[in-house]
Structure formats: C-alpha cells, structure tokens
Amino acid sequence: MTNHATPSDLPHPLSPQASALQHQAGRLARRAERPWLHDEVARRLADKLDAIRLTPQDWIDWGGCLGGGADAVQQRYPQARRWVIEPTAGLAALSELQWHEAQQRPWWQAWRRTPEAPVVVAGHDWPTGWPHEGAGLLWANMALHAQADLAAVMGQWHRSLAVDGFLMCSGLGPDTARELRALYAALGWGAPTVQFIDMHDLGDALVQAGFADPVMDMERITLTWPDAPALLTELRSWGGNVAWGRFAGLRTPRWRERLLAALEQHLRRPDGRLGLTVELVYGHAIKPVPRAMVSGETRVTLDDMRRMIRKGARPH
C-alpha cells in the first residue's frame, strides 16, 4: 500500500538506448550552457500558462538544467517551491550551480530578497519535505524526445502530481530534421535521429498514463545556417544521435567531407542558406480525481480513497 506521492518505484535496468541517453546527458552537462533552442521552446511553452488558472504550491522542474524555463515559471508562481529532478548526478550539480550563479547581483542590489533555493534531486529518490499529496505542476520542457521509455516516465509524472495538478511538457516532433533523414536514407547511412513522438500519439500516451483533458499543440519552424560546418556544430550542441541502427564506430575525415558536400548540395535554400525543419510538440494535461471501477473486487490505495472522499468522486 502506498501512502505518499512518489515519482517512481525502483529504477529500471538501463537499455542500450537509455545508456546512450545518459551518456548524451553527461556530455551536455559538460557544456557551458544549454542549447539555445531549449530556451526558445521554454519561452513558447511558458506562454501557454496564460490559460491556466491553477496556482501550484510546489512544482517539479523535470530535467531543468537542460530543459530551461525555470525563470518564467518562477516569475508566474513566485511563492511556489521548486523541485528539480535530474537524470544524473552531474546534471544535478550543474543545476545547483546555475541557480547560485543566477542569484549573483551587484552590491547596489544586495537588498533584493533571494528566492528560496530549489531542492535538486539526482535520480528518483525524493528527499525529506516532499509534499504528501504531490506537486501542483510538473514542467518538462524538451523532455519528450529524451526518454528511452516515455510511457514509464509519464507514469512517474502522474504519480508525482497532486490531484488537479497539471503537466506542461514539450519536445521534438516527427518532422524534425526530415531533410537530414531523407539525405541519410538516400546515402544508405542509417537514421541520424530517433523517432520523435507525434502529437496525436502524445495525447494517447497521456490518457494511458492516467491524465485527463490532454491538450496538444504543434508548430514547425525552419532554422538556417550559412554553411554545413555551422549546421553540424549546432546539431551537436543539441545532444547527438542516439537512434537504433546508427553507425557504431568512429567516422573518418573522408566521410565527414562527403557529409559536408551532401549537406551543401541538398539543404541549400533559395536564399543561399542551409535549412532544416524543426517540429515542436507541446502537451498539457490534468491529473484527475482517482475513480474506482466497479467490479467483484475493487482495490484502491489509501491515499486514493481519501482523495475520492474529499472530492466527492463516485465509483463508475
């Protein structure tokens, strides 16, 4: 019987893709700053909070170091306590460093109140003080495509939220880098990216995880670069390729020259710049009051029973 809200049960053994994702996260943790695209997507996701009338007392910043958007959320909910969940200890340490650096200010602004420091957690072990009922908001910016088992992660998100708590998430959609995937397929090089989640599949996954009233949104943007080396440098800053079937060894300088030539030839736009499509997928959903299905024998947790009584829910 579970009598408190937890984001996870026991950690799952790492699959090859999960190991690659952790390696990717560790490499990004060594960078001086997160990809600029993550901050841009965070800004767009934060704009969607305008339609939300709920005011959380606690909120979870899932993968906040690389995801971004904490400033926008804290500005909207200044009294809410922030809990940061990072996949690795390196990202947790960097997340704490980012917060302390953000509090540095000139001496003439020393009078300004320093906000409460976030609670930063590496992995899924929650510290003392975690709200019994769960958090009111889970913010997971640019997290959808960075999960080896998205269904399991959504289950963690659902368990870590309080009843009537809401989820705000985003990630890359299936049309992202479609020009690059077509080029790799034509050259017989395998997949340059993972398969990104479709907006409609995201809605189905949220419902399967137990969320209610899912709202999905999608937009496509085109990013351009002056030349192929600049494009590759930008793509590497986003994390690299962890797709199944990718080339397992190291590429040669001759292969790189062939790739640069192919990019110059096939991705050149009429304005003279190289372009790639980026599809952004957004999701929002609510954790509803638990309901017990009527059957010969119905089992619910003690906490769920208390919530149903408080909310006046009826079995169906």
Residue 291, in any domain of the structure: yes
Query: Total structural domains in the chain?
Result: 1
Residue 46, in any domain of the structure: yes
Output the CA angle 110-116-122, nearest 5 degrees.
125
Instruction: Report the pLDDT value the prediction gives residue 10, as an integer from 0 to 100.
Output: 29
Residue 181, in any domain of the structure: no
* Predicted model pTM: 0.82
Which whole-number Å values give the CA distances from 275 to 180, 196, 223, 224, 269, in the listed order? Answer: 10, 19, 6, 4, 6
Rounded to the nearest 10 degrees, what angle do helices 150-160 and 199-208 cross at?
Answer: 50
Residue 229, in any domain of the structure: no
Residue 201, in any domain of the structure: yes
Pairing status of strand 274-286 against strand 161-172 = antiparallel
Residue 214, in any domain of the structure: yes
Which whole-number Å values give the CA distances from 105 to 28, 79, 100, 113, 119, in the listed order? Answer: 27, 21, 11, 11, 22
**CATH number assigned to the domain comprising residue 157:** 3.40.50.150
Residue 141, in any domain of the structure: yes
Which whole-number Å values give the CA distances from 47 to 69, 73, 230, in the listed order? Answer: 11, 10, 30
Give yes or no for a contact between 173 and 143, defined as CB atoms under 8 angstroms apart: no
Domain that holds residue 298: 16-174+195-221+280-311
Give yes or no for a contact between 105 and 112, defined as CB atoms under 8 angstroms apart: yes
Residue 53, in any domain of the structure: yes
Reading the block at residue 278, the tokens are 């980026």
pLDDT per residue rounded down to tens, the chain (316 residues):
333 454 443 233 334 455 555 555 555 555 557 889 999 999 999 999 998 999 999 999 999 998 999 999 999 999 999 999 998 888 888 888 888 887 776 666 655 666 788 999 887 666 667 888 899 999 999 999 888 788 999 999 999 999 999 999 999 999 999 999 999 999 998 888 888 889 999 999 999 999 999 999 999 999 999 999 999 999 888 877 766 667 777 788 999 999 999 999 999 999 999 999 999 999 999 999 986 555 555 555 666 655 555 555 544 4
Residue with tokens 């340059």: 192
